[in-house]
Structure 1
Amino acid sequence: MVKNPPNTFDWKRVFFIFLGIFLFTIVYFSPPWPDAVDPFGKHFVLTREGKGALAIFLLAGTWWVFEVIPIGVTSLAIGAMQAMFLIRPAKVAFKDFMDPSVLFIFASLVIGTVFTKTGLTKRLAYKMLIIVGERTSMILLGVFIVTSALTHIMAHTAVAATIYPLLLSIYALYGEGDKPTKFGKALFIGMAYVAGAGSIVTLLGAARGAVALGFFKEILNKDVTFFELTYYMFPIGWIMTFLLWGFFLIFLKPEKKRIIGLREKAKELNSQLGKITKNEIIAGLIVLGVIITMSLRSFIPELKAIDKTAIILVSTILFYILKILNIKDLEEIPWNIILLFAGAMSIGFCLWETGAAKWLAINWLNMFKDSNWFIFVMAIAFFVMMMTNFIMNVAAIAISLPVALVIAPYLNVAGEVILFSSLVAAGMPFLFLVGAAPNAIAYDSKQFTTGEFFLYGIPASILLMIVIGIAVAFIWPIMGMPITLK
């Protein structure tokens, strides 16, 4: 947020603090809300706890968007309010703050720290700049392609943490210091968006794919293979990658078309780094080992039993055993970002466990149960896109997909198009930082506010919905995907 001059009262900040409290109050203390009724006539009651979860959800969303207090502190409020208003026990609400997904983000940020400290980041950044040259548009394209490609073989959180320090090195050569610029916003927000776009292409990019395929098999008794998913997702992921490049060149056109002398400067700085060091080699091998091990989990049953968080935390432990990092590096980890995701996990589980999320999903999808099949599919995609901006994309899929797959046959809609459109929408939360770890990692650059991220996310989300619509109506049918039941 823009800081006010000393000794001036920040009315805007106070207004949004009380707006969040007001929204919480009117929802929490309102009379009981009507039940949600599914297509089979089953009633789902919105309990007092469920209504409380929605109330906290609205307060946190308001405070996060307008950044009235540090985003990590808003997350602490999420846990505290669950305990204070007896929505969930404190032991449960705060346990989510150390969920494996949160520790995965922590370990990913540690990898970023290692790449920066050892100098690997600068080495990679300078070599990339020598290749792409001095045009800022080509620099953005190079960053987007590398980010998207890497998410095909490793988790998008780990990719964002690895690419982030590289972007800092690139931006340092832009010549504007730490000052926020359009190029800086495009570089960091773009990285976050494209990490999502690339992560939909394989099962290695994020956990959401495996969860969705599990639901699909359980409900429809059909298997979708690793390569079948990639076949349908590859064109959509890469269409979004290139469209996002064009999007940022329009909405955040860099102030400079070229960075004069950048290629020569990159060559000079690269030569100054000298030969690759022992620590760079060790760090690179450790990270490569983690990436290979996590990738093999999809193919080797014995490795699937080992949680990916445990695997990536081994790298953190090794960095300290081998003295590549020290206690000072641990203290400099961006805990504000980690707390942000801890709070997001807590509110996500809260909405799920209290039944509030299912109540929302059933009410939303019931509005479209008599609609045209295309409208129904797009309504599901829109719901998943909105939910994944507030809670874990895995939870958004878990909430909406089972309900949608049950309703779909009544509208003569094939389950495959429901599955794939939901996965595309779940992979690209462009509105809120809590929607995906790369969003929060990018925020640490201080190139943009949460409000700016939200505003640019609106047209980006509209673009995403248009692409999903084109995929559903034209691309996937041409590729042979079943769209309607025969």
Structure 2
Amino acid sequence: MTMKHGKLIAGIIGLVLGIVIAFFLPIPHGLTHAAMVVLATLVTANIFWIFNVIPSFATGLLMLSTWVVLQAVPFEDSFAIFSTTTMWIIIGGLALGAAATKTGLITRIAYKIMSYFPANFKGQSLALFISGTIIAPMIPSAHPKAAMSTPIAKGISDALGYKPKSAASSGLFLAAMWGFFVTEGSFLSATAQNYAFKGLLPAKYQAVLSWGNWFLMMIPWTIIILVAGYFLLSFLFKPKDDTPVSREFINEQLKALGPMSKNEKITAISIIAAIIMWILESTINIPSAVTALVWVSILVAAKVLTAEDFKTRMSWSTIIFIGTVMALGNVMQTVGLTNWLRDVLKPVIGPIIGNIWVAVIVLPIIIYLIKFVVVSLISTGTLVTLALLPFVTQMGFSPALIVIIVTTSVNVWLLSYMNAPFLTGSAAVQDGMASRVSLAKSSIGYMAINIIGLLVCVPVWHLMGIA
């Protein structure tokens, strides 16, 4: 059976299930026909997303439109999310990231950091960890960071004389992905999916997840992820002879970039200013979305970004997809699905969400298992978050912590299909750096380290009054 036929069959099954749920199943006690329509479209949409029947954003738009056509939810409620601050900070953040990539600022930062470290496996893998962590909050999109960082790692690997898909080559690939991608859990602005998961929460819980709070909440996790991750990759992949060689490759790359351009300087100032204003959001009383849009406007006025850049450098399909996913949280509550799901799932989920120590161990394991079936990172996170939303009033900790646990736990790459950004990073180097075995080993290591990192965070969360 071809992939095309598989998608067609999945699509038919999804549509049939949706029709049966919406129009033929008896309406359970406590639900309305509107709730059944929303439940039906959610089932259909997830089948479409899992099997990529049509582009994800198109599935999302069809879901919202179906609510309106079947008169389950008014248009104003179905599409209300597109006028929220969360959507606009995603747009603004992606635009700032596009400027950083376009001007070469991100590449310059990466190579500059690498020039300070020994030109061997341990030195350059550490440099990739550090440069990636510094760059992570500047670009809220995983795929551009993956596509940019792995060719840098390949250049270093070639300069150090490592054979393709050798242990050392695999290690440098993973160091790039670890630094630039895995550390997205450390910063709210490091990926648009963080904003999407945050946007699923009721407004009063979203307020806990400001840029500064997120950063403070994740400091212990970040330290554990970086330190333990560095030693994990060194243990698994460091070559026997790790003698430093010439830094010629890195110096050549820096020389080719030339002096810092005016546009790079303007972009650097804009991003630094935006991050500072995000940290001080509650003090200066300027919403994060407004901050992002102001600095994007300045970049456009300074001609760093053009109208064409907004067409070609912004992933509008991703933005629309995230918006449609975020709409689910409010709509499920409006039609009564949230309360109904709480009653249905309480025997299973109740014991998990009653204690934060149990939650940070059990929830990641559940998410790891779900990833074998649901490929999309954001779809997995959305499913888990939506399943837990009915229990927000019964949690023994702030529901904001669910977003933290979800966003760190969806990033697994045990099997190649589980993680699209890893596929992007691999494609950027023609699948010529990391072996499948190395990916699996490092993913198992990350899965364990992630849980340890979350456990170490719990005392800090207690001190902050959220656990």
Normalised TM-score (structure 1) = 0.66
C-alpha distance in 1 between matches for 2:57 and 2:233: 28
Partner of 1:19: 13
Change (3 A) 1:75 1:53: same
SS in 2 for 1:68: coil
Contact 2:220 2:453 in 1 (8 A): no
Shift of 1:264: 1.8
SS in 2 for 1:391: helix
Q: Report which stretch shifted further, 264-273 or 341-350.
A: 341-350
Shift of 1:195: 0.9
Within 5 Å, give how 1:284-433 maps onto structure 2.
Answer: 284-298=268-282, 300=283, 303-304=284-285, 306-332=286-312, 333-367=314-348, 377-378=358-359, 382=363, 389-391=380-382, 399-405=390-396, 415=397, 422=402, 424-430=404-410
Shift of 1:297: 1.2
Partner of 2:94: 109
Unaligned runs of 5+ in 2: 159-163, 371-377, 414-418, 429-435
Q: Which amino acid aligns with 1:53?
A: V
SS in 2 for 1:10: helix
Of the three residues 41, 62, 69, the one matched with 1:84 is 69
Contact 1:148 1:194 in 2 (8 A): yes
Q: Report which stretch shifted further, 137-146 or 224-233.
A: 224-233
Q: Which amino acid aligns with 1:338?
A: I
Tell me if 1:476 matches 2:426: no
Of the three residues 152, 170, 173, the one matched with 2:155 is 173
Contact 2:146 2:422 in 1 (8 A): yes
C-alpha distance in 2 between matches for 1:231 and 1:198: 9
Change (3 A) 1:397 1:157: farther
Tell me the matched-pair count.
Answer: 427
Contact 1:141 1:245 in 2 (8 A): yes
Contact 2:139 2:145 in 1 (8 A): no
Contact 2:119 2:247 in 1 (8 A): yes
Unaligned runs of 5+ in 1: 36-44, 218-222, 406-414, 434-438
Q: Which amino acid aligns with 2:87?
A: V
Contact 1:352 1:358 in 2 (8 A): yes
Change (3 A) 1:68 1:147: same
Partner of 1:196: 185
Contact 2:332 2:338 in 1 (8 A): yes
C-alpha distance in 2 between matches for 1:32 and 1:159: 43
Shift of 1:375: 9.4
Shift of 1:29: 3.1
Change (3 A) 1:444 1:359: farther
Partner of 1:28: 22
Partner of 2:433: none
Change (3 A) 1:264 1:358: farther
Change (3 A) 1:293 1:140: same
Normalised TM-score (structure 2) = 0.69
Shift of 1:358: 3.9
C-alpha distance in 2 between matches for 1:55 and 1:362: 19
Shift of 1:263: 3.8
Tell me if 1:273 matches 2:227: no
Contact 2:354 2:395 in 1 (8 A): no
RMSD value, Cα? 5.3
Shift of 1:271: 1.3
Partner of 1:128: 113
C-alpha distance in 2 between matches for 1:62 and 1:224: 30
Change (3 A) 1:261 1:328: farther
Q: Which amino acid aligns with 1:267?
A: N
Change (3 A) 1:460 1:213: farther
Q: Which amino acid aligns with 1:271?
A: K
The structure with the largest helix share of the pair is 2
Partner of 2:79: 94
Partner of 1:10: 4
Contact 2:412 2:443 in 1 (8 A): no
